[in-house]
A and B are shown apart, each in its own frame.
Chain A
Amino acid sequence: MSRGDTELVAEAVGELLRGRCTQETVAAAERTGWAPELWAGLAEGGFPWISVPEERGGVGGTVAEACAVLEQVGRYAAPLPVAETGLLAGWMSASAGLDVPAGPVTTAPTARSVDAPATVTVQRTSSGWAASGRAARVPWAREASRVVLLADSPDGLQVISLDPATAHIEPGVNLAGEPRDTVHLDDVAVDAVAEAPAGVDHDALLLRGALSRAALIAGAAGRVLDITVTYTNERRQFGRPVARFQAVAAHLVKLAEQTEAVRMAARVAAANGGTASGPWFLDVAAAKTVASEAAGLVAAAAHQATGAMGMTREYELGQLTRRLWSWREEYGGELLWSTRLGAALADAGADALWPAIARGAVA
């Protein structure tokens, strides 16, 4: 892995977000559903398209670099479909030979595994293709320039890219007020359809999506740790900073441990993201299991250490913890991923268990 590049990307996007993605920006986007200026700033730097090949409209780069961007997006609670635009929809489009359009693009799982039928189907018509069905919990579908989905067809799985104006969008949100819309497709004409190539299917999308959420969680957890350490050192009770009380300090240590664990898990999974299909699964399944569980522990420890202030809208902590509570379930929570991981490890047999665990980051 080229850690140097990854760190440079993280620094650049972090600097941009630190200045432009304030608590007020996030609060405003929760009311309106969109943060156009913030998107314009990120788009100008090309950040949402990292890991999408240049010849398909992306800016190149690695999965690890894309995840480094997502960590910063999580850190600043940036209310934008960055993961969807590049790592997820961008990847599906580019892999299938479709051009990645300008503007925010979104996607969501249409089935939980390759064995399950998709909730969206696409068929040939006399004039082209038409899609029907429903995609639920689609981030920012209302603002996206395209919605990219996996759809079943008589000819096999297809990647379809459609203009959301042709669909019926039913607004919805997650716990953090981020749009999670339902896209209803009723025999809608689709102008871009391509056969899903090998390696692009429901499982692969779920895996990439889980990696994206692990990175977002890692970023948000890091910020929660920082602001909680600062707050508990400033807030005084009984004549001293509350961080000096052992019981409060224990929450801070737990917070630090969980944060370092999820950061490590997400970064290793991202660093190994460019490698072949087998290890990918184990890394991401482990990372999302750890991240989803850590999200709840981090939020709980930070709220307990911060006291009543943390429960107010005016304090930043809630913007982050409501995201942690949302992202941990997206693309599968710890139960789904730990069950899948356990099944794969049991199938491989006891003698393969240690070699699988001891295979961490790979050069």
Chain B
Amino acid sequence: MIFAPTELTPAEERLRRDVREFLAAELPPDFRPGLGLGGRHDPEFSRKLAAHGWVGMAIPTEYGGGGATPVERFVVVEELLAAGAPILAHWVAERQTAPTLLAFGTQEQREWFLPRIAAGECWFSLGMSEPDAGSDLASVRTAATKVDGGWLVNGTKIWTSAAHLNHFFVVLCRTSPAEDRHHGLSQLIVDLHAPGLKVSPIHYLDGGHHFNEVVFDDVFVPDDRVLGEVGAGWHQVTSELAYERSGPDRYLSVFGLLKAFVTEFGESFDDAQRAAVGRASAKLWTIRQLSLAVARSLERGAAPAVEAALVKDIGTLYEQEVVEVLRHVAGQEIDPGGARMFERLLAEAVQTAPAFTLRGGTTEVLRSIAAKGLTGARR
């Protein structure tokens, strides 16, 4: 395990202070923080953030990024998430697509996409899940057939977050017959406004619209939008998942709820409420440092896949636990239209919390990755 305590450098602390000052100026006093999936899609905010150099920080400067370290990005991201800032527009593009492009994209793709991502102006979704392919991604059926100058894509993707708002998505699809589960897959960059593509909402259980179904009907994708090698999609997508795993988005989804509880009830807390807040804060303090340790080790070039899986598992379970514990000690009926921020956020949190341990790899999938690492490393 690489979990070694690490402290922030003075430069990293200055960066944190700058982000706090920015957020204090940008977010109104009555701002409703985004919880987890609910961080708002706000192009204006993404552009302002980008103007400070805080989008695409880890993208090298030659592609318009900040050339920052994983820990510098960690500091900025945790400040944004702790504030529940509206970062959804650029979030997937900067967290996931940019590193994938850097690892596997062509020079031309990097030069075209990366500066736009870093400017907060090019937004991506993920096209992985399908009706018959959830945790078992190798069983995707969306198929691309080779035609002159490109590929014709047919099939259906589901749970595609913000496909109705974003510009592109990276689609995992089959480019050779299904007999070869892993080697017949490729990744394509698909324009979400391409002819033949139909995006329709899948409403979340609380009625919200984040997810979409995306149906391909002979959608043409030119050859220069193949991401990486044809047939290497499985390898690419499994390494890409690691970027998703252990960051601050895996334990800060409900920090806004915790803070609102202290804001609105802190002065009249009973001991059970004090204990609940103390416990939630103690665990957050600890998990944050595990996550920071992973970021620091990435900075040194390590590939801590097992540690990342552990952090995501412990972090997302923590998020769900906080919702339950605060509900328990608040001890009131939940009114989604209530006057107070805490009860409105609690209404949202109760209904979205089950997703915390599903997205980015379910608890069960993560535990099997972690278990293999644990037993393998010690044999």
Contacts and interface: CB of A to CB of B under 8 A. Distances in A.
A354 B82 contact: yes
Nearest to A245: B371
Interface in A335-357: 335, 337-343, 345-346, 349-350, 353-354, 356-357
A143 B267 CA distance: 48
**Range class of the A interface residue count:** 35 or more
B290 interface: yes
A169 interface: no
A354 B3 CA distance: 22
A246 B3 CA distance: 25
B314 interface: yes
A313 B362 CA distance: 38
A157 interface: no
Nearest to A226: B378
Interface in B274-333: 274-279, 281-290, 292-293, 307, 310, 313-314
A250 interface: yes
Given A260-B1, A343-B274, A286 B285 contact: yes
Interface in A222-260: 226, 229-230, 232-233, 243, 246, 249-250, 252-253, 256-257, 260
B1 A339 contact: no
Interface string B358-379: 0000001001101100110011
Contact of B277 (A257, A264, A335, A345): A345
B240 interface: no
A85 B375 CA distance: 38
Given A360-B289, A361-B6, A353 B371 contact: no
Interface string A278-321: 00001001110110010000000000000000000000000000
B212 to A, nearest CB: 32
- The A contact surface, by secondary structure, is helix
Contacts of A358: 16, 78-79, 82, 288
A204 interface: no
A346 B375 contact: no
B266 A338 contact: no
B7 A345 contact: no
Given A233-B378, A339-B275, A361-B7, A249 B371 contact: yes
Chain B CB within 10 Å, residue with most, of A252, A253, A338, A350? A253
B279 to A, nearest CB: 4
A146 interface: no
A201 interface: no
B107 interface: no
A286 B259 contact: no
Contacts of A290: 282-283, 286
A334 B279 contact: yes
Interface residues of B, number: 55
Contacts of A31: none
A349 B266 contact: yes
A63 to B, nearest CB: 14
A1 B273 CA distance: 35
A357 B310 contact: no
A362 interface: yes
Contact of B3 (A264, A343, A360): A264
Given A243-B371, A261-B314, A335-B275, A342 B289 contact: no
Contacts of A233: 375, 378-379
B371 A360 contact: no
B238 interface: no
Contacts of A349: 262, 266
A363 B9 contact: yes
A287 to B, nearest CB: 8
Which of A246, A261, A340, A363 counts the most chain B CB atoms within 10 A? Answer: A261
A361 B310 CA distance: 21
A267 B379 CA distance: 27
B263 A337 contact: no
Contact of A346 (B10, B260, B269, B293): B269
A262 to B, nearest CB: 8
A250 B274 contact: no
Contact of A1 (B3, B7, B277, B278): B7
A338 to B, nearest CB: 4
A286 B286 contact: yes
Nearest to A259: B1
Interface string A1-13: 1010000000000
B281 A260 contact: no
Contacts of A98: none
A342 B279 contact: yes
Interface in B242-270: 255, 258-260, 262-263, 266-267, 269
B293 A264 contact: yes
A93 B262 CA distance: 40
A353 B258 contact: yes
B375 A243 contact: yes
B5 interface: yes
Given A246-B368, A261-B290, A345-B281, A230 B378 contact: yes
Contact of A253 (B263, B274, B292, B371): B371
Contacts of A250: 367, 371
Given A261-B290, A293-B279, 7 more contacts: A253-B313, A257-B314, A265-B282, A338-B275, A342-B276, A346-B274, A361-B5
7 contacts: A249-B368, A257-B314, A261-B290, A264-B286, A265-B289, A342-B275, A346-B262
